[in-house]
């Protein structure tokens, strides 16, 4: 009879350090809940000489992955090195050797999750990846277990802590984009290449995982329409505020009559919506179920200890499954056909900011173009621009199809009196929802 579960920890960076701290600090509670102690047997790193901020027996640290994946002394691999390679190969090799996997790696699960889960099923092994989406929020478990009896029609999420931290600081303190990005990197929130955060790729991977589990479809990353925050200006943020909105990098997954849309984009969210008050590194996922109605899951989306709680909780589930002898039997493969919406089926309100010549008839021309494409106005602001020779026109539309709004933008771009279409963003969470 086993007295401990032996863990091979891959990675001792932000998340790996948190995992060691929690396993050391909460050992008693973990043992009471699982009946077994959790023992870290080996830790894989790149640099043996790096200073570590935790006390850990140097004998445990190795640079040889075989000390973990091929060792008879390891039952579970916790992968927190990140990236696709070599993490993918290490995980597949570990599964081949009958080891269970806990990972925080959304890149890997969004791109190769199906292959990894298939191998795990063949080998009777568990693969859990709660920390891959929204850090410390137990959202994947909520989707798979809590919503098992319902039918989810909408998930909207602030699922990238770095960009939410940047947008909050820009909105509340008028902070400079590059300065705040540097801060987020220093705090351990950003990916090693922060382009993944600011261009929306990290959030897109998380939305692919959420929509696969929430809609039971095999959602691939290419199906997620993705745009980041690097073009969002302080002017847009302040106009949005005047109109009653905050700008957030929002993941949007909607299902209407089994047609699905999934995207990540800077979005104006009405201050009446609970997502508008999610600030800083906090994440939130708003889930609408046909039977339950509105729910929202909120918490820290990144950082050492919050992320480690999700990893160690997955570890607890693996241990409980080991005791019950049910490892590898929990996952449900996607069973719904994936049918994606086209541009005529994607419908929402939009925010447009234009620079125009400040002369008679221009506003009439703008409203004519909107009306010719079936787009009607909800709010309009006009501000002097460039010393008054030009004007900025800021519009929030009523609901329109994406096809129509793109046609409007094309037509505006061809008008002499419209000098520039500065911004076009989706608007969510208003009264028409
Ligand atoms: P990190 O701070 O950069 O740490 C990565 C660790 O992995 C380091 O200890 C590094 O070794 C080790 N490593 C990297 N490549 C390796 C290789 N080829 N072989 C052996 N060891 C290697 O990363 P992190 O922020 O902890 O993130 C880890 C994972 O968690 C990523 O998938 C990330 O997306 C995910 N995640 C992170 C957060 C967060 O808040 N940071 C939140 C949710 C999910 P050295 O220490 O020797 O350099
Ligand atoms: N870079 C990610 C974020 C880490 O900022 O949300 C958590 O996945």
188 with 247, same domain? yes
409 with 424, same domain? yes
The reply to whether 366 falls in a domain is yes
Ligand sitting nearest the alpha carbon of 54: 1
276 with 409, same domain? no
CB neighbour list of residue 326: distance below 8 Å, 6 or more residues apart: none
284 with 320, same domain? no
Query: Rounded CA gap, 129 and 140, in Å?
Result: 8
Give me the pLDDT at residue 388, please: 84
The reply to whether 393 falls in a domain is yes
CB of 306 closer than 6 A to ligand 2?
no
Q: What residue's CA is closest to ligand 1, atom 43?
A: 135
Q: What residue's CA is closest to ligand 1, atom 3?
A: 13
CB of 131 closer than 6 A to ligand 1?
yes
* End-to-end CA gap in the chain: 56
CB of 135 closer than 6 A to ligand 2?
yes
Our mutation pick for probing the ligand 2 site, out of 250, 302, 303, 305, counting the most ligand atoms within 8 A of Cβ, is 302
Strand 76-79's sheet: what is its strand order?
61-62, 37-44, 4-10, 76-79, 100-103, 127-128
Catalytically annotated residue among 88, 206, 254, 422? 206
Question: Which of 215, 218, 213 lies closest to 330 in space, CA to CA?
Answer: 213
Domain count, the chain: 3
CB of 132 closer than 6 A to ligand 2?
no
Query: Rounded CA gap, 314 and 76, in Å?
Result: 11
Question: Which of 83, 94, 80, 99 lies closest to 12 in space, CA to CA?
Answer: 80
79 with 152, same domain? no
pLDDT tens for the chain, 433 residues long, are 588 999 999 999 999 999 999 999 999 999 999 999 999 999 999 999 999 999 999 999 999 999 999 999 999 999 999 999 999 999 999 999 999 999 999 999 999 999 999 999 999 999 999 999 999 999 999 999 999 999 999 999 999 999 999 999 999 999 999 999 999 999 888 887 899 999 999 999 999 999 999 999 999 999 999 999 999 999 999 999 999 999 999 999 999 999 999 999 999 999 999 999 999 999 999 999 999 999 999 999 988 999 999 999 999 999 999 999 999 987 788 899 999 999 999 999 999 999 999 889 999 999 999 999 999 999 999 999 988 889 999 999 999 999 999 999 999 999 999 999 999 999 999 765 5
282 with 412, same domain? no
Query: Rounded CA gap, 318 and 312, in Å?
Result: 10
Cα-to-centroid distance, 109 and ligand 2 (Å): 15
Contact call for residues 314 and 138 (beta carbons, < 8 A) = no
The reply to whether 329 falls in a domain is no
CB of 190 closer than 6 A to ligand 2?
yes
145 with 273, same domain? yes
Give me the pLDDT at residue 1, please: 59
Give me the pLDDT at residue 2, please: 80
The reply to whether 332 falls in a domain is no
Ligand sitting nearest the alpha carbon of 110: 1
The reply to whether 433 falls in a domain is no
The reply to whether 334 falls in a domain is no
| Structure token pair of residue 141 | 């478990």
The reply to whether 337 falls in a domain is no
Domain of residue 67 covers 4-133+304-324
Query: Rounded CA gap, 45 and 346, in Å?
Result: 45
Quick check: is 206 catalytic? yes
CB of 202 closer than 6 A to ligand 2?
yes
100 with 193, same domain? no
293 with 308, same domain? no
Cα-to-centroid distance, 108 and ligand 1 (Å): 13
The reply to whether 335 falls in a domain is no
CB of 104 closer than 6 A to ligand 1?
yes
Cα-to-centroid distance, 321 and ligand 2 (Å): 29
- 83: domain CATH number is 3.40.50.720
153 with 255, same domain? yes
Give me the pLDDT at residue 192, please: 78
161 with 295, same domain? yes
240 with 158, same domain? yes
- 292: domain CATH number is 3.30.360.10
């Amino acid at each position: 009879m086993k007295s401990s579960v032996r863990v091979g920890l891959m990675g001792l960076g932000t998340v790996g350090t948190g995992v060691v701290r929690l396993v050391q600090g909460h050992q008693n509670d973990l043992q009471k809940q699982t009946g077994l102690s959790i023992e870290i047997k080996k830790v894989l790193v790149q640099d043996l000489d790096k200073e570590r901020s935790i006390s850990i027996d140097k004998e445990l640290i190795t640079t040889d992955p075989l000390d973990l994946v091929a060792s008879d002394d390891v039952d579970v691999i916790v992968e927190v090195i990140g990236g696709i390679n070599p993490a993918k190969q290490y995980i597949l090799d570990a599964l081949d050797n009958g080891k269970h996997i806990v990972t925080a790696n959304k890149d890997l699960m969004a791109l190769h999750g199906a292959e990894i889960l298939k191998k795990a099923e063949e080998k009777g092994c568990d693969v859990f990846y709660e920390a891959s989406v929204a850090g410390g929020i137990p959202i994947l478990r909520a989707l798979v277990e809590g919503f098992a009896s319902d039918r989810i029609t909408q998930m909207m999420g602030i699922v990238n802590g770095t960009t939410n931290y940047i947008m909050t600081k820009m909105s509340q303190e008028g902070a400079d984009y590059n300065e705040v990005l540097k801060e987020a990197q220093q705090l351990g929130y950003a990916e090693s290449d922060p382009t993944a955060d600011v261009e929306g790729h990290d959030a897109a991977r998380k939305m692919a995982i959420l929509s696969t589990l929430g809609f039971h479809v095999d959602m691939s990353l290419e199906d997620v329409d993705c745009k980041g925050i690097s073009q969002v200006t302080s002017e847009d943020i302040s106009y949005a505020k005047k109109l009653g909105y905050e700008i957030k990098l929002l993941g949007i997954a909607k299902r209407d009559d089994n047609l699905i849309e999934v995207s990540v984009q800077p979005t104006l969210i009405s201050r009446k919506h609970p997502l508008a008050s999610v600030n800083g590194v906090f994440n939130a996922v708003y889930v609408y179920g046909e039977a339950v109605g509105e729910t929202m899951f909120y918490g820290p989306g990144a950082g050492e200890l919050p992320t480690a709680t999700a990893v160690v909780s997955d570890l607890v589930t693996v241990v409980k499954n080991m005791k019950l002898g049910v490892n590898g039997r929990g996952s449900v493969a996607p069973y719904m056909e994936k049918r994606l919406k086209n541009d005529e089926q994607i419908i929402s309100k939009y925010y447009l900011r234009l620079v125009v010549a400040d002369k008679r008839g221009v506003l009439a021309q703008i409203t004519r173009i909107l009306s010719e494409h079936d787009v009607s106005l909800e709010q309009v602001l006009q501000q002097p621009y460039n010393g008054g020779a030009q004007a900025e026109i800021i519009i929030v539309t009523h609901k329109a199809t994406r096809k129509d709004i793109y046609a409007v933008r094309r037509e505006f771009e061809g008008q002499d009196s419209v000098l520039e279409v500065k911004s076009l963003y989706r608007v969510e969470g208003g009264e028409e929802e």
